[in-house]
Amino acid sequence: MSGLSGIVGEVEWIERVLRQMAEAQEHRGGEKPVGWVSSFVDARVGLMHNRRVTIESARAPSQPFEDANTGLVVMLDGEIFNYVEVRERLSNYYRFSTEGVCEVVAKAYDRWGDSCFDRFEGYFAIVIYNRFSEELLLCRDRFGIKPLYYATHRGNLYFASEVRALFAAGIRPLLSAERWASYLAYSTYGSPYETFWEGVHQLPAGFLLHYNGYSLVERRWYAFENRVKAWSEESPERQTEAFLDQLHRSVGYSLMGDMPKGLSLDGGVESALFIALMKAVGCPRYLKSYMHYRGKLHQSSALWGAELLSETALPLEQVAITKTMLLKELDYLTRWQEEPVDGVDMVARSAFFRVMRKRGLAVVSGGWGLTHLLGNAPLPGDRYSSLVPSELLSADFRQLARKPRYRHLFESENDQLRFCDLYYERLPHLLRSVDKMSMYYGVQIRNAFLNHNLIEIAFARAEGSPSGRNRRQWFARQIVEPLLPAQIRLAPEDEPGEPELTSDLKAWADEVVFDLRYGRASAWFDHTRLEQQWQQGDEGLFADPMKVWKLLSLCLQLKNLP
């Protein structure tokens, strides 16, 4: 895990600006940031890296890494789990001088060009500068697990792992009225290149950005639908064999490295499958497991943790997320969160990461991603269910809202919804939020089941499943359930709801929402109707807590503005 930042253009005191960008995201690396500056066409290019070692040796060279043989300068945020295998293939053509992953990336790119990224297993944001051709390349992994943002200002290009680093470089922190209007009206997080900030873009998942000093060109390097089509042409036996093999490999990847690691459990099928596979691939020494819960232990899924671990030697700590912890975490969120906070669950997750850091963990692994494998997509009628009532928005602000439109790549409506969930809806937002929260506390999250091969096969396999809502259960019975212990009992799904909003957090919410009526975004709302809906409690806005959290998210962002 690392923090990337860079500038291309005519910027005075470029070294100082780079240091400011690195300081804004210093939590992403535990070591002193390292910079690199050189000429670029008729201007300059500067790179800065906040480093924290994970799977590679601590003896690996610092970044930015300059490869003398290829003329490439490389920075990496994330992990490439199979870099040793890629290095072995490249050793037939190159002599390596370091043990680091960045030299592997440099020589892989020199050998295979843009297609090298197809060979990498993991999640990553990569920056490559070619000193010979004076060209810059930015790359983001297949599902956007690692973030990468950029902005242009006065003809200069700025990029970083976090939006706040761009603000530190001089980009003005202006909320995008159009983006927030669409979020409040249609519950959409925007297109893959949009953010909630004016003039700030994100590199879409599975995309490259080439810059030669005159033009920015984005190109898609990973076409998910093509990979699904290729897998659908394989036999069911081959699909099952590859899926099971990748399950074991993915869990093995998530346990790599000698750094302090923890295992996050939830008592459900994801955790049960992860533990079963972990026993098969081998449990590392000194691994400890954790479960967090809100409310009472006997009413939470954390109660099932001990039973899941009954046949292992793993110790379990059940972490209670209290009202005091939630309020404290909400205060932290106002300082560094860069997009909406969707509910108490997200706040509790952030508080959990804070506890993990206090326990001295560098990596937390878990079974996240399985619900996306199993196709747990919302039905069409539920697509825009949690909306802020339009009468609460001012007429001018409401006109800025855009109903989302997505590329239609799959004939099946169910598959199309799942695709939107992966690239446009819940998953991209969740990944950005989790990365932001975990990195703030210096903890790397490994999503064992969010592997591209697994998701591709799951999509392809579903094409041969029964139609309708039972595809998820069918897929689980066919492949996942046989891997679980015969007598395993899984925790029941938690009932939806946010009781804290009408009890523990009500006073905080009352104070925060005051800013909507009298703060900098007051012109976006109808003050009278907002006050009426708020005071009606469970008969008004509080009838749907997600509507309340949309308003509170905006308040948190307003508090974060200078």
Task: Please say if the pLDDT value at position 474 is more than 80.
Answer: no
Res. 331: pLDDT tops 70: yes
Q: Is the pLDDT reported for residue 165 higher than 90?
A: yes
Lateral strand order in the sheet of 2-9: 34-40, 43-51, 2-9, 156-160, 149-153, 201-202
For residue 262, is pLDDT > 50? yes
pLDDT of residue 297 exceeding 90, the answer is no
Above 60 in pLDDT, residue 379?
A: no
CA distance 521 to 65: 44
- Reported as a pLDDT band with limits 50, 70 and 90, residue 476 is low
Mean pLDDT within 143-148? 96
Tell me the pLDDT band of 373, cut-offs 50, 70 and 90.
Answer: low
Q: Residue 499: what pLDDT?
A: 63
Closest by CA position to 290, among listed 317, 320, 270: 317
Highest mean pLDDT of the ranges 217-231, 279-293, 519-533? 217-231
Bridge partners for 446 per DSSP: 365
pTM of the model: 0.93
- Mean of the pLDDT values across residues 46-57? 75
CA angle 22, 45, 104 (to 5 degrees): 80
User: Which residues, in sequence order, are bridge partners of residue 5?
Assistant: 48, 160
φ, ψ at 515 (rounded to 5°): -65, -25
- The closest of 557, 555, 350 to 433, measured between CA atoms, is 350
More confident residue, 86 or 411: 86
| DSSP letter string, 415-455 | HHHHHHHHHTSHHHHHHHHHHHHHHHTT-EEEETT--HHHH
* Residue 290 backbone dihedrals phi, psi, to 5 degrees: -140, 145
What are the structural domains, with CATH classification, of the chain?
Answer: 2-222 (3.60.20.10), 225-379+410-483 (3.40.50.620), 499-560 (no CATH)
Q: What are phi and psi of 405, to 5 degrees?
A: -130, 130
Q: Which residue is listed with tokens 């109660």?
A: 303
Mean pLDDT value across residues 524-546: 79
* 164-168 long-range Cβ contacts below 8 angstroms, 24+ apart: 164/24, 164/25, 164/336, 164/338, 165/3, 165/5, 165/21, 165/22, 165/24, 165/25, 166/21, 166/200, 167/24, 168/17, 168/20, 168/21, 168/23, 168/24
Angle separating helix axes 545-560 and 323-336, nearest 10 degrees:
50
- Are the beta carbons of 52 and 61 closer than 8 angstroms? no
pLDDT of residue 381: 45
The helix-helix angle for 344-358 and 426-440 (nearest 10°) equals 30
CB 302 within 8 A of CB 292: yes
The H-assigned helical ranges of 200-313 are 224-232, 236-254, 269-281, 305-308
Q: Which residues, 6 or more positions from 395, have their beta carbon under 8 angstroms from its beta carbon?
A: none
**For residue 249, is pLDDT > 50?**
yes
C-alpha distances in Å from residue 76, one per residue of 5, 31, 41, 48, 442: 11, 15, 24, 11, 16
Bin 397: left if φ > 0, else alpha if -120 < ψ < 50, else beta.
Answer: alpha
Q: What is the pLDDT of residue 452?
A: 93
pLDDT of residue 468 exceeding 60, the answer is: no
Residue 159 has pLDDT above 90, yes or no: yes
Are 187 and 384 spatial neighbours (Cβ–Cβ below 8 Å)?
yes
Backbone φ and ψ of 310, nearest 5°? -60, -30
| pLDDT for residue 455 is more than 80 | yes
Residue 283: the pLDDT is 81
Question: What phi and psi values does residue 82 have, to the nearest 5 degrees?
Answer: -100, 25
Structure tokens at 409: 């790549």
